[in-house]
Amino acid sequence: MNPSLFPLNPIMVVDDEPNILKGFQMALESAGINNLLLCQEAGKVMPILSETKIEVILLDLIMPQICGEDLLSKMADSFPDIPVIIITGSSEVEMAVRCMKKGTFDYMVKPVEKNRLISGVKRAIEIRRLQNENQLLKEHILSGELKTPEAFSDFNTQNRSMIGLFQYAESIAQSSQPVLITGETGVGKDLMARAIHRLSHRKGPFVTVNAAGIDDNQFSDTLFGHVSGAYTGADKTRKGLVESAFGGSLFLDEIGDLSSGSQVKLLRLLQEREYLPLGADLPRMADVKIIVATNRDLSKLQESGRFRKDLYYRICFHHLHVPPLRERRDDLPLLMHKFLEVAAQDLEKKRPSPPLELISLLSNYHFPGNIRELKSMIFDAVAGHHSKILSMDRFEAHIKQRSSIDRIPSKQCPGKNHICFSCFDPLPTLENATCLLVGEAMKRTNNNQTMAARFLGISRQRLGRFLKTISE
C-alpha cells in the first residue's frame, strides 16, 4: 500500500454526475485526503463494500437505478460501522429526518461549501479511528496475550506491568495520532518508540531527533529543511527530517526541553499535518507518525509556564509510561544474564558466573540510571573480570559511590525531616527496633546472612550471634 495515502482505507464517493465526483475529489485532495474511490453507478456500491474495506461513504440520494434511501438502508443493515455522509440536492426536512434515523453520520445539501465538506469527512475519519482503537483495546484486554511479541524483542521482561504496556502499544500503534512516552532516564523509551513504529506497519523509515538544546532556528531547519537561498549560506536545498521520515515515524526525544517558539511550530505541524520549509512558498503534507518522549514532568512544566498546555493535550492522545527498574525488580535476573552474555561477547571474554549474592545486592539498589545503569555496571565488572566467578567488588564500589542503598523503607518515612519510628505508639524499645531492622535486612536478602550483614554495616559473625540470640 502506498504510505502517502490518507486515510489508510479509501473514502468512497457515490454520485451519478462525473463533474460532481471530480469536484469532491479536488476539494478533498487539497486537504490531504487522497485515498478516494469514486463510484458513478449506485448498483456497484454493495459489491464494492463486500470486497473492499471502506473508511467513510459520501452518498448522493437522488440517482437513477437505485433510490439513495434504499441504498442507505442496505448499507446500515450490512455495514453499520461505516460512517455515511449524505450529500444531496434535496433540502426536504422529512427526508433528512428519515436519513438520520437510519444512522446517517452527517447530512449536507448541494452545493456544499468546501470547508464544510472537508471538516465533515475529517470528523468521520476520526470517529472511525476511535471505534477501531476501542475495538482493538477490548480485544487485547480480553485476550491477555500479545499478538506480535517479536515487536518487543529488544526488551527482556516478564513483568506484568510491562506486558500490559506492550498490549496497549499494540492497540494504538496504527493510530494516526501522536504518541507520548514518559519515563526516567535509561528505562528504554527509545526502544518503545521503535516497537511502536514496527507495529504501525508504516513503510517509511524511523527517524530520531533529540530536541534538547535545539534553538528555534535549528528546530525549523532540522525538521522542515530549507530551499536554496532561504538565508545567507543556504547554497543548497536541505531536506528536513519530516520529509526524511515520509511514510514512516518521526521520534522527538527530550520533548520537555523544547523552547517556547519550537513548541508553537510543533503544535502547528500536529494540527495542520503540513509544514513549510524555510524559504518555500507552498506548504507540504507531513505524512509521518509523531512519537515524542521525555523524562521530565510535563504537568509541572505546564504549571510553571514552560510547556504549552495546548501542545500537551495534543501529544498525550496516547500516553505510555515506562516504569523504572526498581518497580520491575523481577526482571533483574533476566537482564543480568542478558548483559553478561553481551558484555562477554563484546569484550571477547568467557562469560563469567555471577555469585549468588549479586541478585540480592542489586535488588536492594534503586538504580537511578535504570537499565542503562545496570548494563554499564555489568560491562564494567566483566571488563575487570579475571576468575571464574564474577567479583562483586566493582558493583559494591559503584553502589557505595552513589550512596544509593535505601537503608530505610521509603513507605515508612514520609519525609526527610521525619523519623521512621514516629508512627509507632508506644515507641519500640531498642531491642525491638533492632529486631525489626534485622528482620527487614534478612527479608530483603532472602535470608542471606552475608548480604544482610553488609546492608546493616556489621560483620557476618555479629549478625549470626544476634540471630542465634533471638532464636533461643
Question: Could you please report the per-residue DSSP string of 19-50?
Answer: HHHHHHHHHHHTTT---EEEE--GGGHHHHHH
Q: What angle do CA 323, 309, 196 make, to 5 degrees?
A: 40
Whether 395 is in a domain gets the answer yes
Cell of 43: 448498483
CA distances from 76 to 80, 82, 98, 120, 434 (A): 5, 8, 13, 19, 73
Task: Output the pLDDT for position 415.
Answer: 47
User: Same domain for 295 and 150?
Assistant: yes
CATH of the domain at 361: 1.10.8.60
- Provide the percentage of residues in the chain whose pLDDT is more than 90: 51
Task: Output the pLDDT for position 407.
Answer: 46
Among 405, 439, 455, where does a domain finish? Answer: 405
**Which has more confidence, 163 or 135?**
163
- In the three-class reduction of DSSP (H, G, I as helix; E, B as strand; rest coil), residue 365 is classed as strand
The parent domain of residue 188 ranges over 144-323
Between helices 68-78 and 93-101, what is the axis angle to 10°?
A: 20
User: Same domain for 17 and 153?
Assistant: no
- Mean pLDDT value across residues 345-368: 90
**Which has more confidence, 67 or 225?**
225
- Mean pLDDT value across residues 201-228: 90
Cell of 342: 553481551
Count of domains forming the chain: 4
CATH of the domain at 280: 3.40.50.300
User: Same domain for 293 and 385?
Assistant: no
CB 213 within 8 A of CB 201: no
User: Same domain for 389 and 298?
Assistant: no
DSSP string, 157-177: ---HHHHHHHHHHHHHTT-SS
Measured distance between the N- and C-terminal CA atoms of the chain, rounded to whole angstroms: 76
- Provide the percentage of residues in the chain whose pLDDT is more than 70: 92
Q: Quick: pLDDT tens for 234-244.
A: 888 889 999 99
pLDDT at 293 over 80: yes
Task: Output the pLDDT for position 169.
Answer: 93
Count of CA atoms in the C-beta half-sphere (13 A) of 356: 7
Residues 198, 146: Cα–Cα separation, whole Å: 14
Cell of 452: 544482610
Whether 315 is in a domain gets the answer yes
CB 209 within 8 A of CB 241: yes
Banded pLDDT at 196 (limits 50, 70, 90): very high
pLDDT at 295 over 60: yes
CB 53 within 8 A of CB 98: no
User: Same domain for 191 and 306?
Assistant: yes
Among 266, 298, 323, where does a domain finish? Answer: 323
Q: Quick: pLDDT tens for 21-72.
A: 999 999 999 888 999 999 999 899 999 999 999 999 999 988 887 888 889 9
Cell of 56: 467513510
Name which of 90-94, 98-102, 190-194, 289-293 the model is least confident about: 90-94
- Mean pLDDT value across residues 298-327: 92
Per-chain mean pLDDT for the chain: 87
Q: Which of 351, 360, 295, 353 is nearest to 332 (CA)?
A: 360
CB 116 within 8 A of CB 108: yes
CA distances from 432 to 418, 449, 465, 466 (A): 20, 19, 16, 12
Name which of 109-113, 196-200, 274-278, 458-462 the model is least confident about: 458-462
CATH of the domain at 69: 3.40.50.2300
Q: Quick: pLDDT tens for 66-116.
A: 888 889 999 999 999 899 999 988 778 888 888 888 889 999 998 899 999
CB 258 within 8 A of CB 266: yes
Among 73, 98, 129, where does a domain finish? Answer: 129
Q: Quick: pLDDT tens for 314-346.
A: 998 899 999 999 999 999 999 999 999 999 999
Return the number of other C-beta atoms located less than 10 Å from residue 453's C-beta.
Answer: 20
Task: Output the pLDDT for position 413.
Answer: 46
Torsion of CA 463, 464, 467, 470, to 10 degrees: -100
User: Same domain for 370 and 270?
Assistant: no
Return the number of other C-beta atoms located less than 10 Å from residue 396's C-beta.
Answer: 13
Residues 69, 13: Cα–Cα separation, whole Å: 16
User: Same domain for 55 and 109?
Assistant: yes
Distance of CA 73 to the CA centre of its chain: 40
CB 353 within 8 A of CB 311: no
Name which of 189-203, 259-273, 279-293, 449-463 the model is least confident about: 449-463
pLDDT at 255 over 50: yes
pLDDT at 470 over 90: no
CB 47 within 8 A of CB 73: no
Q: How many residues does the chain have?
A: 472
pLDDT at 406 over 80: no
Task: Output the pLDDT for position 144.
Answer: 64
User: Same domain for 194 and 280?
Assistant: yes
**Which has more confidence, 142 or 311?**
311
- H helical segments located in 188-297: 189-200, 216-224, 241-244, 260-272
CATH of the domain at 431: 1.10.10
